[in-house]
């Protein structure tokens, strides 16, 4: 059977191989081995040492690759490990344009780590093509975007930015963590590299750390493979198996959590205690029109701003069904306070300018019963 003819949901359930071809195991085996026997001198089974290649990791890489419709995928121990590997493609003096509204850990990498090695970065509102053009220099080598962004859900036009990148011979890198390949496929829109924190929606159960890079260009893939093997932050066999298990329910989880998110976003929008709601699925959201063109869904991430700072502590203490915790993308609904959690390393002046202030909260909506989630919010915010 030609795997490429299968639909997304079927691929995510079956995996790239459809099970183990040797034993017939439906659940792909965990090859918990660091090393592999060679038949004889100068001959290999294709597996030598697990840092270089492991059958279970290879299976999850091939599966993610099919779902993103790329040529190859590489699995890493965390999302930031994947980003770090990606930026080994650049050298001192290179300049990268980055979405100004993005995950605080990514900001920290650019601002505190890459800068030490001479890689320069400029944080730009990538929803504005003119704004991007103004910051392109002779040293610019890449544009890195999150869309929707974290935490303000800004939507950047992948196709337009891709056209700009090709015109200027730049690499376009897209973090697709929030929407996953189920809702958005940046490679088909012109991106060169797609990044995922697989810890989030791909794993889906808050029990595994992982990261992925997916690309189409053979030269980029070859370089990334060398980086992956040389730096060693590869995904373990057991964690690869957890990802394969999580992927089986990806479409079902995302459909349900999005259904919940739409209802919660509309509740928050009506609530007198809420000043503003940031959700891509609301028609008055600034990026709504772009998002419906380049994706097939809105996802389940919501940020909202309360009118009174005092409500923040009250919400985080009194919510019972919704958990106050970092991270996102799991089956459980989580609420996060970006100002002191995910975006704590951003300078206060930048946070204030972006609107990541003391009144902003972020929800990762899970798959619980919607009435329980709404009742939980209403117990603090009222009707």
User: 63 with 112, same domain?
Assistant: yes
Q: What does the alpha-carbon distance between residue 67 and residue 244 come to, in Å, rounded to a whole number? A: 12
Which residues are known catalytic residues?
A: 51, 103, 175, 200
- Which of 225, 247, 269 is the last residue in one of the domains? 247
187, 220 in Cβ contact below 8 A?
no
Q: What does the alpha-carbon distance between residue 56 and residue 75 come to, in Å, rounded to a whole number? A: 11
Binning pLDDT at 50, 70 and 90, where does residue 138 land? Answer: very high
User: What's residue 142's pLDDT?
Assistant: 98
- Which of 199, 216, 247 is the last residue in one of the domains? 247
Query: Looking at residues 295-322, what average pLDDT do you find?
Result: 97
User: 154 with 194, same domain?
Assistant: yes
Residue pLDDT, tens place only, 22-57: 899 999 999 999 999 999 999 999 999 999 999 999
Please give the helix or strand (H or E) that residue 72 lies within, else none.
strand 72-76
User: 277 with 168, same domain?
Assistant: no
Residue pLDDT, tens place only, 346-361: 877 878 888 889 999 9
Q: What does the alpha-carbon distance between residue 249 and residue 234 come to, in Å, rounded to a whole number? A: 24
299, 258 in Cβ contact below 8 A?
yes
Q: What does the alpha-carbon distance between residue 97 and residue 111 come to, in Å, rounded to a whole number? A: 12
CATH code assigned at 351: 3.90.1150.10
User: What's residue 22's pLDDT?
Assistant: 87
User: 183 with 239, same domain?
Assistant: yes
Within 10 angstroms of residue 112's Cβ, the number of other Cβ atoms is 10
User: 161 with 13, same domain?
Assistant: yes
Q: What does the alpha-carbon distance between residue 341 and residue 360 come to, in Å, rounded to a whole number? A: 11
User: What's residue 3's pLDDT?
Assistant: 44
CATH code assigned at 40: 3.40.640.10
Binning pLDDT at 50, 70 and 90, where does residue 4 land? Answer: low
Q: Greater confidence, 167 or 345? A: 167
φ, ψ for residue 266, nearest 5 deg: -70, -35
Query: Looking at residues 248-273, what average pLDDT do you find?
Result: 98
Give the CA distances from residue 357 to residues 286, 341, 376, in Å, rounded to whole numbers and listed in that order.
Answer: 19, 12, 24
User: 271 with 329, same domain?
Assistant: yes
Query: Looking at residues 273-285, what average pLDDT do you find?
Result: 98
User: 146 with 286, same domain?
Assistant: no
User: What's residue 134's pLDDT?
Assistant: 97
**pTM (2 d.p.):** 0.96
Instruction: Please state, rounded to an integer, the average pLDDT across all residues of the chain.
Output: 95
Does residue 2 have a pLDDT over 70? no
φ, ψ for residue 276, nearest 5 deg: -155, 145
Alpha-carbon dihedral angle through residues 229, 231, 202, 18, given to the nearest 10 degrees: 10
248, 12 in Cβ contact below 8 A?
yes
Residues 6+ apart with CB under 8 A from 293: none
- Which of 247, 265, 280 is the last residue in one of the domains? 247
User: 180 with 89, same domain?
Assistant: yes
User: 243 with 271, same domain?
Assistant: no
User: What's residue 319's pLDDT?
Assistant: 98
User: 277 with 151, same domain?
Assistant: no
Binning pLDDT at 50, 70 and 90, where does residue 1 land? Answer: very low
Q: In whole angstroms, what separates CA 340 from the centre of its chain?
A: 21
User: 195 with 325, same domain?
Assistant: no
User: 65 with 114, same domain?
Assistant: yes
Into how many domains does the chain fold?
2
Residue pLDDT, tens place only, 69-113: 999 999 999 999 999 999 999 999 999 999 998 888 888 888 888
Residues pairing with 361 in the sheet: 304
Domain region containing 177: 3-247
Does residue 218 have a pLDDT over 80? yes
């Amino acid at each position: 059977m030609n795997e490429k003819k299968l639909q997304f949901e079927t691929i995510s359930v079956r995996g790239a191989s459809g099970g183990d071809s040797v034993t017939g195991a439906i659940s792909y085996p965990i090859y918990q081995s660091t090393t592999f026997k060679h038949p004889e001198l100068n001959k290999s089974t294709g597996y030598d040492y697990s840092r270089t290649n492991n059958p279970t990791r290879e299976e999850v890489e091939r599966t993610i690759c099919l779902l993103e419709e790329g040529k190859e995928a590489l699995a890493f121990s965390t999302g930031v490990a994947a980003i770090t590997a990606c930026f080994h493609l650049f050298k001192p003096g290179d300049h990268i344009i980055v979405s100004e509204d993005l995950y605080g850990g990514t900001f920290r990498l650019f601002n505190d780590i890459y800068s030490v090695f001479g890689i320069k970065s400029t944080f730009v509102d990538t929803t504005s093509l003119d704004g991007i053009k103004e910051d392109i220099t002779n040293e610019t080598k890449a544009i890195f975007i999150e869309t929707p962004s974290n935490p303000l859900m800004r939507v950047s036009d992948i196709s337009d930015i891709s056209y700009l990148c090709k015109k200027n011979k730049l690499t376009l890198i897209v973090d697709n963590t929030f929407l996953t390949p189920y809702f958005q496929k940046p490679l088909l829109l012109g991106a060169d590299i797609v990044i995922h924190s697989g810890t989030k929606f791909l794993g889906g159960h808050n029990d595994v750390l992982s990261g992925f890079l997916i690309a189409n260009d053979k030269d980029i893939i070859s370089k990334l493979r060398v980086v992956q093997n040389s730096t060693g932050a590869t995904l373990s066999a057991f964690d690869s198996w957890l990802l394969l298990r999580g992927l089986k329910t990806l479409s079902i989880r995302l459909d349900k959590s999005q259904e919940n998110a739409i209802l919660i976003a509309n509740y928050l929008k009506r609530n007198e205690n809420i000043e503003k709601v940031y959700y891509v699925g609301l028609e008055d959201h600034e990026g709504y029109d772009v998002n419906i063109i380049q994706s097939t869904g809105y996802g389940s991430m919501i940020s909202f701003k309360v009118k009174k700072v005092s409500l923040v502590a009250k919400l985080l203490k009194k919510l019972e069904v919704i958990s106050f915790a970092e991270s996102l993308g799991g089956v459980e609904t989580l609420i996060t306070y970006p100002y002191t959690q995910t975006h704590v390393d951003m300078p206060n002046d930048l946070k204030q300018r972006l609107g990541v202030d003391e009144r902003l909260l972020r929800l990762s909506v899970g798959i619980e019963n919607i009435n329980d989630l709404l009742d939980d919010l209403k117990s603090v915010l009222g009707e």
